[in-house]
Amino acid sequence: MMRRLSIFAIMLLGAFFTACQEDNVKIADREYILFQDTLSVNPVLSDEGYSFKVPVSSTVACDYDRTLAVEIIDEGSNAIEGRDYTLESNTITIPAGQYSTDVVVYPQYGRFGDEDTLSFNLKLVMPEQLSWDLYGDQTKVSMYKVCPFDINTFTGWCVVTSMFLYEYPGLTNVDQSYQRLIKTELDPDEENTVILHDWLFDGYDVRIKFDNSDPANPRITMPEDQLLSDELSVFGQVNGDNRILGTSSPAYVSYFNSCQSFVSLWLRAYVYDLSTLVGYVGDFYNVMEWVSDEEADRLQKEEGM
C-alpha cells in the first residue's frame, strides 16, 4: 500500500522552520533527508521533452547548499535507465534556506506499451545519520503511458459491467446478468460527451462527459438527473415518482483510459418525488470497455450479449 508523506511534509514546514544553527529551537534535534513518497506514480505523456519530478525533502533548512547523489537500484526494477528513461542528473542540491528539491526524470514515451507499467528504485546516497529509519532512503518510481485523447475512441460497441445491475438486475433480466453490450455515439449538442444507448436498461439512454484538461488526470462526469430506469421494473415497487436517477458520485473519482479504451465510473443513484429527494439508492462501480465490431459480433453469437 502506498505510504504518502504529503501531510507529513507540510507539518515539517511548520515544525522545522529553522536553519541548522545550534541556537534555534527545534522539535526534531536531527537533520533527515528523505523522499516525500515511498511510491511515486507518474503518467508518461507524448509531449516532446516531457519530464516529471520525484520530490525530496529535508526536516530542516540550512544556511548552505546540500548536494547528494541519487543511485538507481536494479533489484526490483523493470525499467532500464537510458532505454526507458533518463535522469536529468545523478546528483541533487537542496539550496541554502530551502527544505526540498527534486529528482527530474525524462521517460521515453515510445518505449511504453499501452498496458505497460514500468518502474525503478531510487536511493539517496548520503551519510547514514541523515537517513530516518522510519521512512528510509529509497522510493519506487512507477510510470504508465497516457495516450493522446480522441473522443471517437469512446464510440461504437461497448461492454458495460455494472455493480448496480449486480444488486438490482431488474424484474425482466431473467439471466440476472450484470454485463451488457451497448452502442454509443457522440452527443451532437455537447462537446466531449458520449451518449450510452440502453446503458443499464433498455429504452434509457444516459450521457457521460470527458474532461482531458489535465492529461495526467483524465476525468469522467455524468450530468445530474440522468434517467436510469423506472422504479417498478427494477425494484418491483414505486418509492417516489417512478424514476431512478443517476449522476457521477462525488465520493469517488471517475476516470477514463485512452490507451486501453475504458471508463471507470462511480454512479450515484437516487429517487425523487415531486422534486423532493426520497433517498439515495447508493454508489455503484461501473466499467465500460469499448470493443471492435468483430469482438461485438463474437460476444453476441457466443455469449448471447
Query: How many domains would you assign to the chain?
Result: 2
Higher pLDDT, 19 or 195: 195
> Could you give the CA distance from residue 240 to residue 6 in angstroms, rounded to a whole number?
45
Task: Write the CATH number for 68.
Answer: 2.60.40.1740
Q: What is the pLDDT of residues 131-167, one digit of tens each?
A: 998 889 999 999 999 999 999 999 999 999 999 999 9
Predicted confidence at residue 205, as pLDDT, reads: 98
Q: What is the mean pLDDT of residues 1-19?
A: 33
pLDDT tens for each residue of 50-85: 999 999 999 999 999 999 999 999 899 999 999 999
Q: What is the pLDDT of residue 21?
A: 41
Boundary of a domain, candidates 145, 173, 201: 145
Range of lowest pLDDT (15-24, 243-252, 265-274, 287-296) = 15-24
Q: Is the pTM of this model over 0.85?
A: no
For residue 3, the tally of other CB atoms under 10 A from its CB is 9
One domain for residues 231 and 262: yes
Which residues 6+ apart lie within 8 Å of 70 measured at CB?
87, 89, 90, 91, 92, 103, 122, 123, 124, 125
Q: What is the three-class DSSP state of 243?
A: coil
- Closest by Cα among 205, 168, 159, 201 to 185: 205
Amino acid at 297: D
For the chain, what is the largest distance between any 2 Cα atoms, rounded to a whole number of angstroms?
79
Say yes or no to pLDDT of 13 above 90. no
Residue that is last in its domain, among 106, 128, 145: 145
The verdict on residue 255 lying in a domain is yes
Mean pLDDT of the chain: 89
Which of 42-46, 273-277, 295-299 shows the lowest mean pLDDT across its residues? Answer: 273-277
* Secondary-structure percent of the chain, ordered helix, strand, coil, rounded to 5: 15, 40, 45
What are the helix and strand counts (H, E) for the chain?
4, 19
**Are residue 42 and residue 159 in the same domain, yes or no?**
no
Q: What are the backbone angles phi and psi of residue 153, rounded to the nearest 5°? A: -60, -25
Mean pLDDT of 82-108: 97
Q: pLDDT exceeding 90 applies to what percent of the chain?
A: 82
Give pLDDT, residue 164.
Answer: 97
What average pLDDT does range 76-104 have in this prediction? 96
Count of all residues that appear for the chain in the document: 305
Q: Is residue 1 part of a domain?
A: no
Q: In this predicted structure, what is the pLDDT of residue 172?
A: 80
Give the helix/strand (H/E) hosting 6. Answer: helix 6-15
Is the domain of 162 the same as that of 229? Answer: yes
Q: Which pLDDT tens digit goes with each residue over 208-242?
A: 999 999 988 999 999 999 999 999 999 999 999 99
Dihedral pair phi/psi, residue 298, rounded to 5°: -65, -45
Give the span between the Cα atoms of 258 and 151, in whole angstroms.
9
For the chain, percent of residues with pLDDT exceeding 70 = 90
Residue 60 counted as domain residue: yes
What pLDDT does residue 29 have?
60
The answer on 172 and 114 residing in a single domain is no
**Same domain assignment for residues 126 and 260:** no
Residues 96 and 198 grouped into a single domain: no
Confidence label for 5 from pLDDT (cuts 50, 70 and 90): very low
Domain end point (choices 113, 145, 177): 145
* Pair (128, 167) in one structural domain: no
Do 82 and 165 belong to one domain?
no
State the average pLDDT over residues 188-194.
97
Q: What is the pLDDT of residue 4?
A: 31
> Please, which pLDDT band fits residue 175 given cuts at 50, 70 and 90?
confident
Go through 22-51 and write b for each residue having 16 or more CB atoms within 10 A of its CB, e for each that does not.
eeeebeeeebbbbbbbbebebbbbeeeebb
Print the domain residue range for 82: 6-145
pLDDT of residue 27: 37
Burial pattern 93-124, b for ≥16 Cβ within 10 A else e, equals ebeeeebbbebebebbbebbeeeeebbbbbbb
Structure confidence at residue 173 (pLDDT): 75
Q: Which value, in Å, is the radius of gyration of the alpha carbons in the chain?
A: 25
Q: Which amino acid is at 272?
A: Y
* Amino acid identity for residue 237 in this structure: Q
Backbone angles phi, psi at 189, to 5 degrees: -105, -15
